[in-house]
Structure 1
Amino acid sequence: MASQPEFDAIVIGAGISGLYMLYRLREMGMTVRGVEASDQVGGVWNWNRYPGARVDSESETYAYFFSRELLENFDWSERFAAQPEVLSYINKAADVMDVRKDYTFNARVTAATWDDDAATWTVSFEGDRPDMTCRFLVSALGPLSAPQYPNIPGRDTFKGLTLHTGLWPRDPGGFGPAPLDFEGKRVGVIGTGSSGVQVIQEMSKVAGDLTVFQRSPNWCTPLGNGPITADEMQEIKANYDDMIGFLDTTLAGFSHIFRDQNTLEATPEERRALWEELYKGPGFSLWLGNFKDVLFDKEANDLVSEFVADKIRERVSDPETADKLIPKDHGYGTKRVPLETKYFECYNQDNVHLIDVKADPITRITETGIETESGKFDLDVIIFATGFDAIVGSWNRIDIRGRDGVSLKDSFDEGMSTYLGMQVADFPNFFMLVGPQNGATFCNIPRCSALMIDWLDGLMRTALEQGTQVIEPTSEAQADYTRLCQKLLSRTLIGSTNSWFTGINTNLGREGRDALVWIGGNPMYRDLCTRIRENGYEGFLFDGAPLAEEPRKAFA
């Protein structure tokens, strides 16, 4: 007989997905507790407060849509909101959901252990905070929330100011970054991914001397940002229902849809005209509003890649510098595309210098700066824009033990395999939000994760109605879903590219490709989940038995 835990459910994380999941669990009558490592809500937008941080989703789409009150009472000021405004929005949403009272803050989870006899999870914390127990454990840890540093000798010896974009000091009296003074300073930035591009744009405006240490250039394209007027905001509010309906038809929940035409079906003049228009933005227009084969057909991808390369050459005055900024190891869109505002023009400034660390590797960090094979750079500030242990890192940093003490990290390391990106066999009553192989990870997260949470709400309500103590996936269903993830990814150029989409992380020695993301798109994922629900939550066991004794259909 299972013992009674303290809570029906515990939600780890107070970001966009965690807050909404807790709200839905509480609304169905569960006793629920949220735990959060920070002292406030916001998740990634609370930690990543670096200058220049902003969304790459159109602001009005980066939102909760369940609450008419929230939709009507929050006005976005820019097409692509900056970090302080996004965090302000999340705080407003937390007020509307009234969830802060259900959270324990400053509670960093170190371990979670399943007790098969008691059918409960025990959650352990850093420091002397007592353990908590629950029946259902939901991990809303975020796919980009485990900051990583490069393996550079002497990293801790630097005597100047050291910063990481994912752990930026915050303004104690507001939602933005701490008021640090970079005026006239010698600043070094390591990394040119999305966060690096954004912070470089800002540092170039104030630093006396800015040195960018680039390992791998990216296919950056214009953000197309601008203000949202009061009239435009009213029009957005008046058409929210239509907008939501459209988002749910797109590949990744963004405001863009692929053309129903292949690249080579258009004339060179037609291709050029379309790409010129899409290149201006807004947002992911060129990436997700392009010809339908650009992420599948190499010839098509080569053509659009050369178009973007030409744009870089047009915008960067020095041909040698421009060449360094053009990727050679992957085609356009086969990694997540950083969006920028006059990023390439930064390299035309006398105070900005680009170091290609593949050609001139960093050998060490010293008390006074950074040394490469060819020389040394004296610095006042070093900014690590080196990203995250993406998708799996947040889960791997917690010692999660399932049935018979099996480790989730070991399970991941043996080969990524999940059921719907929500559960893993041998980890009963353990749910993941926006993690590996989840339908919301390669997506506009607020919209796609809300759809998934709404579906999970139905699963949990069914469990409550059945008096179920334990929900878990079958190994067969998990294997089928994983094969589908692998099959879909292998059909794309993304699947043959080294990136965090495919599990590559050279900093951590992970060099074998794996299917870490669901690449089939939001509509296909929702259709699959709908079929699974209609088949009696096919692939899930409720206290060891399926709800419906029917032949398997969802993966046919």
Structure 2
Amino acid sequence: MTVKSDNEVDVDVLVIGAGVVGIYALYRAIDAGFTARTLEAGDGVGGVWYWNRYPEARFDSESYTYGYIFSKELFREWRWREEFATQPEIEDYLNFVVDRFDLRKNISTGQRVVSAVYDETDAIWVVTTEAGETTRARWVISATGGLSVPHLPEIEGLDDFQGEGHHTGAWPHTPIDFTGKRVAIIGNGPSGAQLLPAIVDVVESVDLYQRTPTWTTPLNNAPITSERYEWLHDNFEDIVTVLSTSPSGFLHEPAGKFSTEDSAEARQEFYEKIWTSPGFAKLTSNYYDMTTNRDVNLEFCEFLAKKIRSIVKDPVTADRLIPKDHLFGAKRPPFVTNYFESFNKPNAGLIALKETPIVRVDATGIETTEGHRDYDIIVYATGFDFGTGALTRMGVKGREGLDLSIDWADGPSDFGGFSANRLPNFFFPGGPHGAGGGNYPRYSQDQVDWILDTIIYAREQGYHSFEPTAAQEAIWMSMIETLAPLSIFSVEHSHYYGANVEGKPRKFLLNPGGRGKLHEILDGVSSTENYGGAFTSAHETVAAG
């Protein structure tokens, strides 16, 4: 097999996507001495934090744990204003990072990838954008993430609406004036739950259309004081250690006990403490057996239900806001501010879609089985084509005829949540099976570090290609299938199974083994000679197994 020399490619490493993960991948590639370029579909950097700019869009992971931890200087130079930053500050931060490390000259914006084809003869990737640009690269890192393809609901007549219609995942850059408007929000996940309190005091009316209630709890945000700022930076090394090794990728203190170690009265006191804890601490600092002991989870759910009933004045509305079909944590729980309080406003309404389904959207509003409501603005807070959406739309074709749009039609098959057999030199950190719940950037950093270490190793050893073997992929997928039924997230009508997209196969799209299983498998591959035989040199053919 004849392989073109490295100087016949445009770049060694091509990164697709300039979000949190893509920026880090570009930094690592350049820092390692590779020529590198990033193609970004948007007109600016930020990824999900470029597109999701609806009112009150913000982190629900602590800002300093979600941001980068590879540089002590960067950690100290950027001062977050809040524990959970809003979108404008997040976008400013990511632009600061790009300029701080002089990465902007390597990023091409307005370049949506529509084709990525592996040339088996030359062992390179040929990547083409919608704008017609073509890049030849030895290695491709597709950092498009699992939340980058907004999904519109399958409702008749969406295009007939004559008012304003917007998806929270593709929000316009020009601010929307909600003052005095009649608004519908379809969807009650994190974005819908954030948006409702942000606009309820300025609109004429707002109706939230809820398919299934979720266990929404308070974010408990706070400003970062000078004392907190100094503590964070005085303890940088310890923080990095915890974030790099903890199963969840958070700094939260664990409960240190099982529910059975407390009396019934003590458990109620503990739940009060959890209610006032920040964000994901309601999962990570809860009892050790909260996610495995159905009885204790039910007890906590009843505690939450009482909280909802104590906040929402109308008992019928309160009951409709209480989940009946899943335990706490089984779906991704939104962490927001004043969500339940919003339903006490006279201009806010809740429409339970299982009781009152939508018939169609028309020119002036929404028709349900109970009648028609006029709206000026409809907001679709209906999530994303999670996990696979971007990759299957990008025209990815590997060796021996692999076509992700076809081969993943019944669900993805991969290794480590970031690579696949028959996709030589192609990686997708943060992709399907790429995270096990918790702080996504910490999982994705693990993957990017392993990817770059692998590419560096290939350079040092004179290899031109890497891909996981079919056997390695089978071991990983067997782990996914075996552990998925045991996962706290194993509710098949959630977006973790692709259930929010009509016609999408119900396949578990997280890593049920979590960060620990990811490290275990990757460490095992790395310790095997030649990474388990997954490398090829310039004159070898790629092994199928």
Q: TM-score, normalising length from structure 2?
A: 0.95
1:553 corresponding residue in structure 2: none
**Structure 2 CA distance for aligned equivalents of residues 498 and 270 of structure 1:** 34
1:516 aligns with 2:509: yes
1:530 aligns with 2:496: no
Query: Equivalent residues in 2 for 1:75-474 (5 A)?
Result: 75-127=79-131, 129-170=132-173, 178-439=174-435, 442-474=437-469
**Structure 2 CA distance for aligned equivalents of residues 422 and 151 of structure 1:** 30
Offset at 1:260? 4.2
- Kept in 2, the 8 Å contact 1:296–1:493? The answer is yes
- Kept in 2, the 8 Å contact 1:302–1:331? The answer is yes
**Structure 2 CA distance for aligned equivalents of residues 217 and 367 of structure 1:** 28
* Cα 1:44–1:217 shift into 2, 3 Å: same
Query: Which of 25, 40, 50 is the equivalent residue of 2:54?
Result: 50
Give the 3-state SS of the residue equivalent to 1:529 in structure 2.
Answer: helix
Give deviations 1:470-512, integer Å, cap 9, x for gaps.
Answer: 10111011100111122232223422443222x2324332252
Give the 3-state SS of the residue equivalent to 1:143 in structure 2.
Answer: coil
**Structure 1 CA distance for aligned equivalents of residues 30 and 182 of structure 2:** 50
1:552 corresponding residue in structure 2: none
2:487 corresponding residue in structure 1: 492
Offset at 1:443? 3.2
* Cα 1:460–1:436 shift into 2, 3 Å: same
Aligned-residue Cα RMSD (Å) equals 1.9
- Kept in 2, the 8 Å contact 1:251–1:257? The answer is no
**Structure 1 CA distance for aligned equivalents of residues 400 and 321 of structure 2:** 50
Give the 3-state SS of the residue equivalent to 1:350 in structure 2.
Answer: coil
Give deviations 1:372-428, integer Å, cap 9, x for gaps.
Answer: 011111111111111111111111211111112221132222343211112111111
Greater Cα shift, 451-460 or 351-360: 451-460
Offset at 1:277? 0.2
Give the 3-state SS of the residue equivalent to 1:135 in structure 2.
Answer: strand
Give the 3-state SS of the residue equivalent to 1:348 in structure 2.
Answer: coil
Offset at 1:266? 2.5
Question: What amino acid does structure 1 have at the position aligned with 2:215?
Answer: W
Offset at 1:184? 1.3
Greater Cα shift, 278-287 or 185-194: 278-287
* Cα 1:186–1:496 shift into 2, 3 Å: closer
Offset at 1:6? 1.8
* Cα 1:415–1:385 shift into 2, 3 Å: closer
- Kept in 1, the 8 Å contact 2:141–2:426? The answer is yes
* Cα 1:467–1:535 shift into 2, 3 Å: same
- Kept in 2, the 8 Å contact 1:219–1:338? The answer is yes
**Structure 2 CA distance for aligned equivalents of residues 391 and 442 of structure 1:** 13
Question: What amino acid does structure 2 have at the position aligned with 1:413?
Answer: A
Question: What amino acid does structure 2 have at the position aligned with 1:510?
Answer: K
**Structure 1 CA distance for aligned equivalents of residues 296 and 244 of structure 2:** 26
**Structure 1 CA distance for aligned equivalents of residues 193 and 472 of structure 2:** 41
Offset at 1:252? 1.7
Question: What amino acid does structure 1 have at the position aligned with 2:144?
Answer: L
Greater Cα shift, 23-32 or 347-356: 23-32
1:174 corresponding residue in structure 2: none
- Kept in 2, the 8 Å contact 1:18–1:140? The answer is yes
Give deviations 1:316-343, integer Å, cap 9, x for gaps.
Answer: 1111101111111211101111001110
Query: Which of 21, 27, 34 is the equivalent residue of 1:23?
Result: 27
Query: Which of 32, 39, 43 is the equivalent residue of 1:35?
Result: 39
Greater Cα shift, 202-211 or 1-10: 1-10
Q: TM-score, normalising length from structure 1?
A: 0.93
**Structure 2 CA distance for aligned equivalents of residues 146 and 539 of structure 1:** 34
**Structure 2 CA distance for aligned equivalents of residues 496 and 157 of structure 1:** 34
Offset at 1:67? 1.6
Give deviations 1:186-227, integer Å, cap 9, x for gaps.
Answer: 111100000000011112121111111111111001100011
1:504 corresponding residue in structure 2: 498
- Kept in 2, the 8 Å contact 1:35–1:108? The answer is yes
Question: What amino acid does structure 1 have at the position aligned with 2:322?
Answer: I
**Structure 2 CA distance for aligned equivalents of residues 456 and 162 of structure 1:** 40
Q: Show structure 2 runs of 5+ residues with no match.
A: 541-545
- Kept in 2, the 8 Å contact 1:248–1:523? The answer is no
1:69 aligns with 2:69: no
Give the 3-state SS of the residue equivalent to 1:46 in structure 2.
Answer: helix
**Structure 2 CA distance for aligned equivalents of residues 97 and 415 of structure 1:** 38
* Cα 1:248–1:26 shift into 2, 3 Å: closer
* Cα 1:301–1:538 shift into 2, 3 Å: farther
**Structure 2 CA distance for aligned equivalents of residues 166 and 408 of structure 1:** 24
Percent identity between the two aligned chains:
39
- Kept in 2, the 8 Å contact 1:248–1:522? The answer is no
